[in-house]
Amino acid sequence: DISKIETGQLEAFNQKLLLYDFITKLYEFYKPNFNEKNIDFSLKLNFTDNAMEIITDEGKLNQVISNLLSNALKFTSDGNVELGCILRPGNLTFYVKDSGIGIDKSFHNKIFDRFRQAELEITRQYEGNGLGLAITKGFVELLGGEIWLESELGEGATFYFTIKLNVFKSKDTNPDESDVDEVKVIDEKQYKILVVDDDDESCLYLRELLAKFPEYETVVLTSGLDAIEYVKQHSVFDIVLLDIKMPDVSGYETATKLKVLHPELTLIAQTAYAFYNDKQKALEVGFDDYISKPILPEDLIRMLNKHLQIGL
């Protein structure tokens, strides 16, 4: 992982995640480890919306929190540990606060370097290779956030990190209260592409293909209904690559609804059989263009460049 992070080969996937469910399950999973050491382990959330779904890389988020909890467990012999998740407009802030041995201020800026162990004399008694926090920091950055700590030697430690908040769906649709939906995304990626296809292999293929180009940020969804719901909340896409044949709501119907929501959105149909009729119908219902499956990399890039006016 560390060499992949350093060579920029690791990428974050965009997946739907039920936040409340995720964090409570993680908490329950770790609880027995803390109980065993007689550490009081608690969870603090500032939201109650258990239906809220966000878009993030679940595996990496899980790994980051797990690394911080493992350290808290390792460096705390009694007392308490708190896992927190704070929903803010624009980001999610997580923290792991422990009452353990703490970390001297002079080590704070080195602690995320690889192979760093705060004080060899003290921590030699604890197992570890000093890579955990370097990997953790790399993952946090892939998730669009930052990591930092507050601690003093002997006073416990609190590790904070943020991730970019991308709400897919929240229960709260009342505009007065839905400040969470006013997501300000700090983004170096220039173009946002939404891929909608019910076929897992096609999704994976397009995701991997687009990930090779740093200017594209790709969100992949597997149904027309999800796409409509998502675009309703995020009008941020430049291009939607929509499969025509989907089981719940067809690509044609999805396209019509998306165009009503955002007439300026560029819609490209993925037509499976390249039948002339499919293409004609696609243009009639409002698609701006079509591309035939199997999609060749050079064709897709040419198509995207054409509509994004890159190189023109």
Positions touching ligand ADP (CB under 6 A) are: 71-72, 75, 98, 100-103, 111, 116-118, 123, 128-133, 157
The CB-of-139 to ligand ADP minimum distance in angstroms stands at 12
**Rounded-to-integer distance, Cα 80 and Cα 261, Å:** 49
Q: Give me 57's structure tokens.
A: 């890389």
66 or 93: whose CB is closer to ligand ADP? 66
**Rounded-to-integer distance, Cα 24 and Cα 42, Å:** 10
The CB-of-42 to ligand ADP minimum distance in angstroms stands at 16
The CB-of-172 to ligand ADP minimum distance in angstroms stands at 34
Q: Dihedrals φ, ψ of 247, to 5°? A: -70, -40
50 or 77: whose CB is closer to ligand ADP? 77
76 or 254: whose CB is closer to ligand ADP? 76
130 or 286: whose CB is closer to ligand ADP? 130
The CB-of-117 to ligand ADP minimum distance in angstroms stands at 4
Query: Peptide bond preceding 214: is omega within 30 degrees of 0, i.e. cis?
Result: no
- Per DSSP, the three-state class of 91 is strand
Q: Dihedrals φ, ψ of 301, to 5°? A: -65, -40
The CB-of-102 to ligand ADP minimum distance in angstroms stands at 6
19 or 64: whose CB is closer to ligand ADP? 64
Residue 43 exposed, middle or buried by CB count within 10 Å (0-12, 13-18, 19+): middle
What one-character-per-residue DSSP string does 139-208 give? Answer: HHHHTT--EEEEE-TTS-EEEEEEEE--EEE-S---TTT-GGGS--------EEEEEE-S-HHHHHHHHH
Closest CA to 10 of 139, 114, 136: 139
The CB-of-159 to ligand ADP minimum distance in angstroms stands at 7
Residue of closest CB approach to ligand ADP: 128
The CB-of-25 to ligand ADP minimum distance in angstroms stands at 22
74 or 192: whose CB is closer to ligand ADP? 74
82 or 253: whose CB is closer to ligand ADP? 82
Residue 311 exposed, middle or buried by CB count within 10 Å (0-12, 13-18, 19+): exposed
